[in-house]
Structure 1
Amino acid sequence: MRPAWATFGQDGFHRDWDYTRRVLITLLVIGLAYFLWLISDILLLIFAAILLAVLLSFLADLMTRYTPVPRRWSLSVTVVLVAALVIGFLGLFGAQIGGQITQVVEKLPEAINAAAARLNISNATERIEEALASGSGRLLSRLAGLGSSVVGALANLVLVVVAAIYLAADPTLYRRGAIQLLPPSQHDRILDAMDVSGNALRLWFGGQLVTMTLVGVASALAYWWVGLPSPVALGIIAGVTNFVPYLGPIMGAIPAMVFALATDLTTAMWTLVAVVAIQQLEGNVITPFIQQRAVSLPPAVVLFAIVVFGLVFGLLGVFLAVPLTVTLMILVKKLWVRQVLGEETTVPGEADSPGGRRRGPTPTEE
């Protein structure tokens, strides 16, 4: 029979070890969260590369399906064709668009003065120049910072494009490397979640691209009909800014409204009518029709996602807020709502995944 002091000492040792282990695990989790926060900008770039890789892979699959190009060459041909289209667009239309944007810049002081005069503000551009001159030192430092930011943004863009090509070339390699960090029993679930997330991002990106194109074309035609200068440039601004829901259309309409106010009140009224009509058409007809087979997020979720990701990650977070939300929604529905809670829920993009509309095992099935 063991002495009582021996049993007490062993139990006390186990209690101390359990407490120490919990403290170590807590510290490890806190340290990991802090490390992820430090590299959050890099994680956003990685997500941007994954988003672009999904698009390139989708185009390569379409090429393999509908052309005689073999699978091993489809990605290379896709990258070359996309690069050729971008270069061709810039070559054919770059000079024209650049000329119209130059006209916008040249007419901007006059437009500012005219718009300010209607608000009983005289010599608005001179006041702006005086304010800039008084803070010229700070302005130069800010311009220098802006220049470095532009260079950094271009470097990040090149990094994202190159990384996306590597990811699209051999996605299996990186998928297997990622799931090695998790227990083997979870590999199938994580791979299925990756497949569905990729399909959902593909559907969302395709729908958003179509929406941006339609909004850009409709805006350019409306601005041309109203009589605004440089309608093509203003239409491109409206289409590109429409990538960010809610906030983007407002920012895209500001240049058009400035030039409309500089012309006359009638032009301003018709421009405002055109902007509101296009956005109502986009929000109530175009987007619901295009996204009904893609990813449909509740409007309030999208709005709060833009605010939260913008506050946490800055401008890049604003641009990636919606695809990030789509990915998080897929992971939460598949890995938490289904796997942990055992609830039935529809998951966008699941019908096109390799497993079809496969429902993951619930806790009772395991």
Structure 2
Amino acid sequence: MLDMLTRWYQRRFSDPHAVSLVAILLGGFLTIYFFGNLIAPLLVAIVLAYLLEWPVMQLTRLGLPRTLSVMGVLLIFAGLMVMAIFGLVPTIWHQVGNLIADVPNMFNGLQNYVSSLPERYPDFVQPHQVSTFMITLREKVLGMGESVVKGSLASLVSLATLAVYLILVPLLVFFLLKDKEEMLEMLSGLLPKNRRLTSKVGAEMNQQISNYIRGKVTEIFIVGIVSYITFAVMDLRYAVLLGVLVGFSVLIPYIGAAAVTLPVAMVGLFQWGISPEFWWLLVAYGIIQALDGNVLVPILFSEAVNLHPVAIIVAVLVFGGMWGFWGVFFAIPLATLVKAVWNALPATEPPPEEQVEE
């Protein structure tokens, strides 16, 4: 066993460039793991800088100085965000309030339906089973209510954090875009000299992360808008809120789509009951998810779809458990990074030992 591990180590880490690559990645992982909360504004700024780098580059190619290009793109982006906040947030907040007000009616309707099951299916459902189920469900609902109250109190504290983000993040984005080359040169001076593999993997991942962030934002908008239009045409309640939820559900591959199915189905069931409209809603939602997974995602993430779905789900669970939201958001790029690093590490056999003549 020890000999096998020794041979594997010599095969993979005989090159000092490979050792430098693993050391740099390990240092970055540990930094984010232990100090992720402290550098969260920087992480947000890096994501936004990746997102806005493309329009900045287009303006610089037209002959505009980079500083003016950065300022123009940031002003346009800030204006769009303000329009979205003041146009969308009040509607979402209003629909959230209406949904919370309708929860008791939803619960009563569910209770009446479940209570009728022993009469409809006496061979399968017993009255004591219904009573146990409703008691458990009532406790869960009360627990959710307490969580909402605690979350509302905690949100007052988070307002201070939000204010800090609104000040720090735009400044960080501006300087990351404006002084990009200088910062990369300074970072390069801090890295080990034996970084041939690091430069190779870094160049590949830089392009992939840039494409991933732009693609993910595009996917959120397309899926959210299509879902809202579909729900609005079907006259589903809380269409804006559910459209936003479906749009943001694409942040978590596979798991997000499955999780958002529950509120969509519950609202449709409460509004229409077991009716043709309810089944048409599920069919429409299924078509949206199928088109997203089989058409939109392959177009936007041509490199990422080379990963097996099981690998993506494992990446979401592992990196999400390690780094929370950021681990979930970057699960696909991180899985691609692991794959790229593994392929970049040398896999040559060590020179065979001289055989002893008998």
TM-score over 0.5 for the pair: yes
Amino acid at match of 1:254: L
Q: Where do 1:6-155 residues align within 5 Å? A: 37-42=33-38, 46-65=42-61, 67=62, 69-120=64-115, 127=138, 131=142, 144-145=153-154, 147-148=156-157, 151-152=160-161, 155=164
Specify whether residues 143 and 61 from structure 1 end up closer, same or farther in structure 2 by C-alpha distance, changes over 3 A only: same
Quote the Cα distance in structure 1 between the aligned partners of 2:111 and 2:333.
Answer: 39
Using the TM superposition, give the Cα deviation of residue 284 of structure 1 relative to its aligned residue in structure 2, in angstroms: 1.4
Checking the alignment, whether the CA contact within 8 Å between 1:179 and 1:190 is kept in structure 2 is no
Name 1:347's counterpart in structure 2: none
Checking the alignment, whether the CA contact within 8 Å between 1:64 and 1:74 is kept in structure 2 is yes
Q: Where do 1:1-366 residues align within 5 Å? A: 37-42=33-38, 46-65=42-61, 67=62, 69-120=64-115, 127=138, 131=142, 144-145=153-154, 147-148=156-157, 151-152=160-161, 155=164, 159-186=168-195, 190-263=198-271, 264-266=273-275, 267-292=277-302, 296-330=306-340, 332=341, 337-338=343-344, 340-341=346-347
Specify whether residues 174 and 119 from structure 1 end up closer, same or farther in structure 2 by C-alpha distance, changes over 3 A only: farther
Please give the secondary structure, in 2, of the residue aligned with 1:279: helix
Checking the alignment, whether the CA contact within 8 Å between 2:60 and 2:69 is kept in structure 1 is yes
Using the TM superposition, give the Cα deviation of residue 149 of structure 1 relative to its aligned residue in structure 2, in angstroms: 5.1
Specify whether residues 236 and 290 from structure 1 end up closer, same or farther in structure 2 by C-alpha distance, changes over 3 A only: same
Checking the alignment, whether the CA contact within 8 Å between 2:249 and 2:257 is kept in structure 1 is yes
TM-score by length of 1: 0.69
Quote the Cα distance in structure 1 between the aligned partners of 2:337 and 2:170.
Answer: 20
Please give the secondary structure, in 1, of the residue aligned with 2:114: coil
Regions of 4+ moved over 6 Å: 31-36, 121-124, 138-142
Quote the Cα distance in structure 1 between the aligned partners of 2:85 and 2:220.
Answer: 18
Using the TM superposition, give the Cα deviation of residue 171 of structure 1 relative to its aligned residue in structure 2, in angstroms: 1.8
Structure 1, unaligned stretches of length 5 or more? 1-27, 343-366
Task: Say which structure, 1 or 2, has more relative contact order (CA 8 Å, 6+ apart).
Answer: 2
Quote the Cα distance in structure 1 between the aligned partners of 2:88 and 2:155.
Answer: 27
Percent identity over the alignment is 23
Checking the alignment, whether the CA contact within 8 Å between 1:175 and 1:191 is kept in structure 2 is no
Quote the Cα distance in structure 1 between the aligned partners of 2:199 and 2:317.
Answer: 30
Using the TM superposition, give the Cα deviation of residue 127 of structure 1 relative to its aligned residue in structure 2, in angstroms: 4.3
TM-score by length of 2: 0.70
Using the TM superposition, give the Cα deviation of residue 147 of structure 1 relative to its aligned residue in structure 2, in angstroms: 4.4
Name 1:25's counterpart in structure 2: none
Specify whether residues 46 and 253 from structure 1 end up closer, same or farther in structure 2 by C-alpha distance, changes over 3 A only: same
Name 2:9's counterpart in structure 1: none
Checking the alignment, whether the CA contact within 8 Å between 1:57 and 1:168 is kept in structure 2 is yes
Q: Is 89-98 or 172-181 further displaced after alignment?
A: 89-98
- Give a deviation string over 1:281-311, Cα, whole Å, max 9, x none: 2111221133237774332221111100122
